[in-house]
Chain A
Amino acid sequence: GQNIDQPTEMTATEGAIVQINCTYQTSGFNGLFWYQQHAGEAPTFLSYNVLDGLEEKGRFSSFLSRSKGYSYLLLKELQMKDSASYLCAPLDSNYQLIWGAGTKLIIKP
């Protein structure tokens, strides 16, 4: 079956760095997305990785290891507005997104 595993909740301090991990098992693989979702709002796109390695985009970076079925999202210089849920979503062999339940990130001052 298809499975996505990410921590349910994480807490970090404003200004710090946090890494949100995601492991996945899918029928085939065509890349992996990360989305951000603030409470009561719609998900918004953060990143897409299809090749192994680190993709950096400002304060956010995303890493992929296809052989390990593993990805992480790295958030630097945390701000209070980064308090949100972060959704990991790999693409399976049918190019369907398989969504994880998300990691709720709480930022404390």
Chain B
Amino acid sequence: IAGITQAPTSQILAAGRRMTLRCTQDMRHNAMYWYRQDLGLGLRLIHYSNTAGTTGKGEVPDGYSVSRANTDDFPLTLASAVPSQTSVYFCASSVLAGGLNEQFFGPGTRLTVL
């Protein structure tokens, strides 16, 4: 692994189903983030983690949950998917929390909820 990876690359999901998007980084970065990107809108922060064992809510957290059991992994779970969660999801990481550091992004997961 080099950098930050996400899985799956894309997924079509029926409404009401549970889904976990995976994110793994091998850079030993302390901070990790989940964003969604929709056409015509800027990236919107869903959840973040400043360090392993801690998480926080971003701008649009409803319908999503995260965990940070270790430094490398930061999965995002949709408990019961709805069509408005159709989006491209990016995971990112930075050396330290607080936004002053450059964020490195994974390749994204394109999710369609029908």
User: Real complex partners, A and B?
Assistant: yes
Which residues of chain A have a CB within 8 Å of any CB of chain B?
Answer: 4, 30-31, 33, 41-45, 48, 87, 89, 91, 95-102
Cβ A97 vs Cβ B99 within 8 A: yes
Given contacts A95-B98, A97-B45, contact A45 B40 (CB under 8 A): no
> Main SS of the interface on chain A?
loop
Given contacts A42-B105, A43-B90, contact A101 B100 (CB under 8 A): no
> Min CB distance, A32 to chain B, in Å?
11
Tell me the complex Cα distance, A4–B102, Å.
19
Cβ B100 vs Cβ A42 within 8 A: no
In the complex, the chain A residue whose C-beta lies closest to that of B107 is: A42
Residues of B within 8 A of A102 (CB): 42
Number of interface residues of B (CB under 8 A): 20
Cβ A99 vs Cβ B98 within 8 A: no
Given contacts A42-B90, A101-B40, A102-B42, contact A95 B106 (CB under 8 A): no
Most buried by B among A31, A33, A89, A97: A97
Residues of B within 8 A of A42 (CB): 90, 105-108
- Is residue B55 within 8 Å, beta carbon to beta carbon, of the partner chain? no
